[in-house]
Structure 1
Amino acid sequence: MTDELLVVRCQLGERAAFTELVAAWHVPVWSYVRRMLDADRADDVTQEIWLAVIRGLPRLKDPGRFTPWLFTIARRAVTNRLREQYGEAETPAPQEPIAEDSITALVDHAELVAGLSGLPALEREILVLFYLEDLSLEDCADICAVPVGTVKSRLNRARRLLREHLIEKGFQR
């Protein structure tokens, strides 16, 4: 069933349709939030997002634009949480336990995550939306409320910064 049809069913008051919509989109939304925030806050922010979706779904005029609308809500929630974070004193986040894997893969993954988390928020956000959430340039532009050209330039800068970080750490192309 398409997202558009699920949205229409939700707007008509079908609770089962909302359950299906959440089941289809919870993991992508949580993944986006997790990549932008630490794990402790990702669950809370994801819950806030779904509450905003419940409240806003009746006012969504174009059900075919559900995905950009959903990620716009997610972006706002992440931005609000980041604002709160910057207002507080910085405390180091606890490290999550790492599942056993080959040492090389762990190091590569750790460096990639470190490089990604070291990017400025705007560039990190574009990389996450475009590459990890697999959204189009147009959808990224809608979500971030910027022109497509700005998305392209942020992607270019983000790739360059990430490449520089990885090269600095000894990774070759």
Structure 2
Amino acid sequence: MSPADPPTHDPLTDEWLAVRCQLGEREAFDELVARWQLPLWRYARQLAGSDSAADDATQDVWLRVLRGIARLREGAKLRPWLFGIAHRVLMNRLREQYRTPLVPEGDADLEALPADDDTLQLETDLAALRDGLARLPALECEVLTLFYLQQLSLDEVSQVLVVPVGTVKSRLHRARRLLRLQLGVQGER
């Protein structure tokens, strides 16, 4: 698995890790963090808008996980439980952010790209996609991030957002339509 890939969805591994964490095994919590840090950080980064905000949010998520792992009843549902905690942390931070004036940050993600035309086109497309996602409303950005980037199932997204599956489907439909409009794509993909 490369660092770009989310962990393989394996409810048995997650369940075993959760049980070991509940028994107080420090190594198990370290494994849990190693397994889920990057996916949770990417989710936070997508919604928070900056690396530092994502770092702060994921740190808060891990504190809440540490405090609440004993209350997790179904270890096989660890993944939606983790993203549910992240969702609540991020929504609380967004509420705080709306109370204060926004100060735009520069986007330093884009570095000099190689001259290879295919690589250049791919990087340009990815940059446009990230920009399009960033301009979407929070609900639409979040549902696309959870479903496509974090590869959660419809049921898991439903659990994370605490909404019915039908609502997830309608939000996905709306989010895809809005993203196509943002990108100027007319039903190509």
TM-score, normalization by structure 1: 0.93
Instruction: Give the superposition deviation at 1:90.
Output: 1.3
The equivalent of 2:170 in structure 1 is 153
Q: What residue number does 2:7 align with?
A: none
SS of structure 2 residue aligned to 1:71? helix
Deviations 1:23-70, CA, capped at 9 Å, x for gaps: 111111111101111212010110000000000001111111111110
The runs of at least 4 consecutive aligned structure 1 residues that moved more than 6 Å come to none
Is the counterpart of residue 35 in structure 1 residue 32 in structure 2?
Answer: no
Structure 1 gap segments, 5+ residues each: none
Q: Does 1:133 align with 2:144?
A: no
- The alignment yields a C-alpha RMSD, in angstroms, of 1.7
Distance 2:134 2:40 in 1: 18
Choose the corresponding residue for 2:78, options 66, 72, 75. Answer: 66
How many residues are paired up?
A: 172
Per-residue deviation at 1:97?
4.0
Report the secondary structure of 1:134's partner residue.
Answer: coil
What are the within-5 Å matches in structure 2 for residues 87-166 of structure 1? 87-101=99-113, 102-166=119-183
Q: Deviations over 1:80-136 (max 9, x none)?
A: 111111111111112214233244333322211111111111111000000000000
The answer to whether residue 37 in structure 2 is matched with residue 26 in structure 1 is: yes
Paired with 2:23 and 2:109, the residues of 1 have a C-alpha distance of: 44
107-116 or 147-156, larger mean C-alpha shift: 107-116
Say if 1:159 and 1:171 are closer, same or farther in 2 by CA, change over 3 A: closer
Q: Secondary structure at the match of 1:35?
A: helix
Residues 1:55 and 2:67 are matched in the alignment: yes
Q: Give TM-score, length-normalised by structure 2.
A: 0.86
- The offset of 1:13, in angstroms, is 0.8
Q: Distance in 1 between matches of 2:163 and 2:188?
A: 33
